[in-house]
Structure 1
């Protein structure tokens, strides 16, 4: 067979030359370009891409987890707050007072509420001037501290009684006495407590004539023939006439959570507040009226009540109670339960018409 193969190779020399040697085949295969593979195999991956991808996934998961935790924490906090509100004990100071002649029956209630400090004060006084029975009622809502409200409680009605025109021209005497009390406070304590101030919602009853004076955003509401009648208009900076007065004096009213004078004070009239005195005045707005058979009771209260209880609701709640003392306590409790975040103080004065005559002064004063 070897001979035959050799003869055949000699007979067909072209076939022998066409068959490549094994080494040549190997070199040809090495030079041949690689065969195409799947698309997945063609991509060239950067070594950092997997790390970046994993980091992005981790950050996304962290954000989702944080959002979920924040939502859960907020929900738990809200539930806890609501539970605390339902179970919280309302610790207050309340009581009652009656005039000796029986013409007035009064109740009062004052609570710190959810504020850290108590800055509300109230005052109830009785006196006689020229054989006339005089009764004073006041609610003072302090801000920036207690000094201004405490000063009003001590001096406001005292200054009014000393005014020579108190009986003959009561409205003028009230206006002048209130301004004097403000000036006295600024002279004696205002330099020390420059940011301290207070509102004042007050009522003076001379015989059967009622005078109501208001400075700030505390309020007086009268019940007459079953209807709620506001005897004061809150001194808010965005009240059109108040805003004009402030701007005419060179001040500004801006929004900062609520409308504020100079972005600071949320009322346009107050006692004290030396730094804003050019714009925040202590001029009272005064209403006067005769107490007749349709006049049932008067409510004086700080804005801790009025922020959450409308005038009509307050009157309805008082009418449902048997006494002014119970009514005053109910009003403060309702305001607290409705979520008032301020101190809450109110006075309820009931007029007993069958005994509305000048009588001897009561034996005690409450304040």
Structure 2
């Protein structure tokens, strides 16, 4: 126990050295008590701890929960559609500032975060996830950066990591290179899903909620993309590839193509079905394949009644990939989009209606749409093509700032 306390004190010393960047010490009172609370219960424990005054804290520049599409920073649209209720929610921050200590000293890394949560059986799970995700994710990143920078990480790790610098406080702290940062973001994404689910479980048991939610989240940083998901909300990468034209020298043509970044967690997926059956559940087709004839997905936040039958909230994470100049749009949408449109249809709408570089909606043709209008065009097209579900989408125009140089 004493060794553990000493390690936490050393971690705190590193946290203090980073306060010039994040200004956390005076505003958020990061302390040994906070570090201990985090170790015991993750991000939710920080808000419950009486000794760690973070209960009212949320990261700046986040999405407004009362008007979720107004301050998203990315193009977004939500439509209730033909349902009598709205269970879709979104959360996003186009430039979450993450502090870390790298080879060039202390600096901020800008991380774009975009998430779609499609609720079922009620809006409680999707509402909870959308309100908590940004705060929990930021804390998971921040506290794991502190841990990574700690000089006390065990003898083996200390011997392997010989790169260190003297911080202003006089404490030796390990440098966090780009690879470490990507690993931290990956782990933070997974932990945030776990934190959301564990805390919603407490809420659901206390209030007798039966609801659940999908969750599809994309991170964009330094021209790289990471996607994690549970359920059947999708993420697509819409791209244009240049092809040499046979019509003459020096000319070329563009062809559109789509990459589906997610693979729906449906009960007829062999790997998902195997887990359900191993846990004692079964798959029955009632309209579509369903777990125990009830739930049309095998992974979800919430859905407590089906946990013992193999339904989990552990996200599937697609490995980091580098964006290129071919990549034009990232789309994250609830399954209501894809009741009326195929992924190829979605990308075609974007490529056919987006303003060309150097033009605007006012200067272009009538079909040249600003990003916000593109999101609305997708939602309205899905509705007009027969979608009966709630419909929500986030469209991210992958400008040069997101591309690898």
Please indicate the TM-score interval, normalised by the length of the shorter structure.
Answer: 0.5 to 0.7
Give the SS at the match of 1:172. Answer: helix
Q: Is the 8 A contact 1:190 1:272 kept in 2?
A: no
TM-score (norm 1): 0.67
Deviation by residue 1:19-44 (Cα, 9 ceiling, x = unmatched): xxxxxxxxxxxxxxxxxxxxxxxxxx
Higher relative contact order (CA 8 A, sep 6+): 1
The question of 1:138 aligning with 2:107 is answered no
> 1:193/1:319 Cα in 2 relative to 1: closer, same or farther (>3 Å)?
farther
Residue 270 of structure 2, aligned match among 222, 240, 257: 240
Give the SS at the match of 1:246. Answer: helix
Q: How far apart are the structure 2 equivalents of 1:117 and 1:135?
A: 29
Q: Is the 8 A contact 2:124 2:209 kept in 1?
A: no
Partner in structure 2 of residue 256 of structure 1: 286
The question of 1:183 aligning with 2:160 is answered no
Deviation by residue 1:42-89 (Cα, 9 ceiling, x = unmatched): xxxxxxxxxxxxxxxxxxxxxxxxxxxxxxxxxxxxxxxxxxxxxxxx
Partner in structure 2 of residue 18 of structure 1: none
How far apart are 1:275 and its partner, in Å? 0.5
| Superposed counterparts of 1:116-265, under 5 Å | 116-125=84-93, 126-130=95-99, 131-163=108-140, 164-165=143-144, 167=181, 168-225=183-240, 226-265=256-295
Partner in structure 2 of residue 36 of structure 1: none
Q: Is the 8 A contact 2:80 2:391 kept in 1?
A: yes
Deviation by residue 1:155-179 (Cα, 9 ceiling, x = unmatched): 1222121113373422222112211
> 1:93/1:159 Cα in 2 relative to 1: closer, same or farther (>3 Å)?
closer
Partner in structure 2 of residue 298 of structure 1: 330
Partner in structure 2 of residue 312 of structure 1: 344
TM-score (norm 2): 0.61
Q: Is the 8 A contact 2:223 2:322 kept in 1?
A: yes
Aligned residues: 259
Structure 1: stretches of 5+ with no match in the other structure: 1-91, 99-105, 359-367
Give the SS at the match of 1:255. Answer: strand
Q: Structure 1 residues 136-145 or 321-330, which shifts more? A: 321-330
Partner in structure 2 of residue 76 of structure 1: none
> 1:193/1:206 Cα in 2 relative to 1: closer, same or farther (>3 Å)?
farther
Partner in structure 2 of residue 284 of structure 1: 315
Residue 384 of structure 2, aligned match among 300, 325, 337: 337
Give the SS at the match of 1:286. Answer: strand
| Superposed counterparts of 1:40-119, under 5 Å | 98=73, 106-119=74-87
Deviation by residue 1:212-263 (Cα, 9 ceiling, x = unmatched): 1111010000013331000100111111111011101111111112111111
Q: How far apart are the structure 2 equivalents of 1:132 and 1:173?
A: 15
Q: How far apart are the structure 1 equivalents of 2:403 and 2:233?
A: 30
Q: Structure 1 residues 224-233 or 338-347, which shifts more? A: 224-233
Q: Is the 8 A contact 1:93 1:111 kept in 2?
A: no
Q: CA RMSD in A?
A: 2.1
Q: How far apart are the structure 1 equivalents of 2:70 and 2:377?
A: 12
Q: How far apart are the structure 1 equivalents of 2:322 and 2:202?
A: 37
How far apart are 1:265 and its partner, in Å? 0.7
Partner in structure 2 of residue 29 of structure 1: none
Q: Structure 1 residues 229-238 or 185-194, which shifts more? A: 185-194
Structure 1 segments of 4+ aligned residues over 6 angstroms from their partners: none
